Amino acid sequence: MKVKLENLSKRWGKVVGVEGINLDINDGEFVVFLGPSGCGKTTTLLMVAGIYKPSGGIIRFDGRVVNEVGPKDRNIGMVFQSYALYPHMTVMQNISYPLRLMKTPKSEMIERSQRVADMMGIGELMDRRPAFLSGGQQQRVALGRALVKEPELLLFDEPLSNLDARLRLSMRSEIKRLQIDLGITSIYVTHDQVEAMTMADRIAVMKDGQLHAYDTPTEVYDRPRTLFIARFVGNPPMNITEVDVSQTNGAYHASSEGLELVIPADRGEKAAAKGSVMMGIRPEDIMIDSEGIPGEVFGVEPLGRDHLIDVKIGDIHYYLLVDPSLNLKSGDRVKLGFNTKKCQFFDKKTERSLLWN
């Protein structure tokens, strides 16, 4: 099912939850709403679900306006962070509840519920109450309940946040695989940018009730349209510093205290127009380089495969990933090379990208 949000807004009195969201979701697409808590992503999801009524704008399912359609007539399934299972019902009763409300004949109801439970790997637990299940099992029941009525749209509200780290990884790929197999259009809300990067066909980055970007994960990562996206997406986060960009002798230079970089012409030209700008560079685009700019190691964080080190050039800290066998310690002198082909530049005032708008 195609979903289209047109200028969607939600306000409670003077409090703005969501403002002017425009979004197109294709049939079978997996879209992730990504943003920090309070950015309006769950509010948007609940409007799509029909729990909240929009204060303005239009929601379309396959072209049909559904603003006034109640949640039960939208043919959607939803999975909640808290699982939201019915504690007084068994797993079977939980999963079959949507069918029971549709007055499905009993034999069909049991058969369909069992099939979904088997698919979720919880077919053996049908007689248990939710209280006697582990967190992962509860989440599978919730997923089964969302799937049993064969919805045209699946909504996920941070479904993995309450699971432990290992389970989160396996459930993540399981949900993604399930979604591809069933081909159900899905909206997935999360504040975890790794989840967003790994699962999404397209990511909608939200902040303060506004849509900052709506694009594929690689586009969002490589071409952040705002400073916020640059900071929020990517782990470890992008280094952001204030630099002056100017043109001398046909080459573009970005300079700040102790730092002097030559910038490729295509990027430098756009940044030089502003002069003083914010420059962003990802940790993986900075490396130890004997020809590079001198600095001092300020801190080392072992991450296992890599060490995340914090290098001070002048008064500014840069984070980069290095090989642990280099055995760097605080106080060591190092020289850094910058892959300036990947530099990002942002307007200091508007915080919008100077390269991608």
Partner 1 sequence: MALRKRIWSSAPYLLLVISVVPIMVGYLWLLINSFSTRTEGLLPVGELTLNNWSFLLETPFGRGYPSIWRVTLNTFLIASFMTITVVLVSSLAGYALSRLNFPGRRQFLSLTLILHAFPSVTLLIGIFFVLRTLSLYNTLIGVGLVMVGFEMPFGIWLMKGFFDNVSWDMERAALIDGASRLQVWWQIIIPTLKPGIAALAIFAFVSGWNAWLVPKTFTIGAGKQATLSVYLQNFQGDTVAVDWGTVTAVGLFQLIPVALFFIFTQDLLLSIYAGGAKGGS
Nearer to partner 1 among residue 186 and residue 353 (C-beta): 186
The nearest distance, CB 138 to partner 1, in angstroms, is: 6
Nearer to partner 1 among residue 52 and residue 298 (C-beta): 52
The nearest distance, CB 186 to partner 1, in angstroms, is: 14
Buried b (16+ CB within 10 A) or exposed e, 107-138: eebbebbeebbebbebeebbebbbeebeebbb
The nearest distance, CB 160 to partner 1, in angstroms, is: 12
- By CB under 8 A, tell whether 92 contacts partner 1: no
Among 80, 174, 210, 246, binds partner 1 (CB under 8 A): 80
Residue 258's alpha-carbon distances to 115, 243, 271, 295, in angstroms, are: 65, 11, 19, 9
Among 64, 72, 106, 348, binds partner 1 (CB under 8 A): 72
The nearest distance, CB 66 to partner 1, in angstroms, is: 13
**What track of x and - describes contact with partner 1 for positions 26 through 65 (by CB under 8 A)?**
--------------------x--xxx--------------
The nearest distance, CB 192 to partner 1, in angstroms, is: 16
3 state SS of 215:
strand
Rg for the chain, CA atoms, rounded: 24
Q: Are 186 and 155 in contact (CB under 8 A)?
A: yes
Number of residues that bind partner 1 (CB under 8 A): 36
Residue 72, Cα to own-chain centre: how many angstroms? 28
Cα–Cα distance for residue pair 80/155, rounded to 1 Å: 9
> Which tokens sit at 20?
């002017």
The nearest distance, CB 142 to partner 1, in angstroms, is: 8
**What track of x and - describes contact with partner 1 for positions 102 through 141 (by CB under 8 A)?**
x--------------------------xxx---x--x---
The nearest distance, CB 187 to partner 1, in angstroms, is: 13
Among 76, 160, 279, 311, binds partner 1 (CB under 8 A): 76
Cβ neighbours, 10 Å, residue 105: 9
- By CB under 8 A, tell whether 354 contacts partner 1: no
Q: Scan residues 167-196 and list those touching partner 1 (CB under 8 A).
A: none
> Which tokens sit at 335?
């020289």
Instruction: Give the closest residue to 45 by CA, choosing from 58, 32, 62, 56.
Output: 32
Q: Scan residues 146-165 and list those touching partner 1 (CB under 8 A).
A: 149, 155, 157, 162
Q: Are 60 and 66 in contact (CB under 8 A)?
A: yes
Nearer to partner 1 among residue 48 and residue 197 (C-beta): 48
Per-residue DSSP letters for 7-38? EEEEEETTEEEEEEEEEEE-TT-EEEEE--TT
Per-residue DSSP letters for 195-214? HHHHH-SEEEEEETTEEEEE
The nearest distance, CB 162 to partner 1, in angstroms, is: 6
Nearer to partner 1 among residue 12 and residue 260 (C-beta): 12
3 state SS of 127:
coil
Contact footprint for partner 1 (CB under 8 A)? 46, 49-51, 70-72, 74, 76-78, 80-88, 94, 97-98, 101-102, 129-131, 135, 138, 142, 145, 149, 155, 157, 162
